[in-house]
Amino acid sequence: MGAGLDLWTKSYAFAHYYSPELALQGFPQTPHWWVDGIFGLQTSHNPGALFGLGAGYSWVFATISIGALIGITCWMFVWRAGCDRWLTVALGLVSGGIIGNLYDRIGWGYIQGFPEAVRDNVRDWILFRLEGVPFFDPWPNFNIADSLLVVGAILLFLHALCSQVPESAEPSPNS
């Protein structure tokens, strides 16, 4: 469901608010504010991963994404993480985020008429800014998949902090 929401919102944002002419000329896309100067929509392309790191290596990130999806599937069904509702939700969110950005990285999000250079870039559209606040002025554009990844990672971290290791059924040798 998360990947579907991500792909639908990307398709909508880029169909209605993306200007290939601006992109070809190297200009940023026009922002459309919902909350004036704080929150809005501005389409952009990310050629890398987190904050644009690793630009031009979409194939590497796509390969890592496929490996992560295989690992999550094994974790859920082979190592039985699916028995834990918290882990199931967290891994579902992470998987949705991976799938949403993987779709773009393998070029399926490309639309005819866009610059060829953005074929395997992740499409971002959420614009957030807190004027005068370091790191948030502006925050790099992101998408629903990025949000799913962050929330899922936070849930995994909290689960690791709060989960208790079950005591073994066997008595310790010192008993």
Q: Which are the catalytic amino acids?
A: 124, 146
d(C-alpha 67, C-alpha 46), whole Å: 21
Peptide bond before residue 28 is cis, with ω within 30 degrees of 0? no
Per-residue CA distances from 129 to 39, 46, 122, 134 (Å): 6, 18, 20, 10
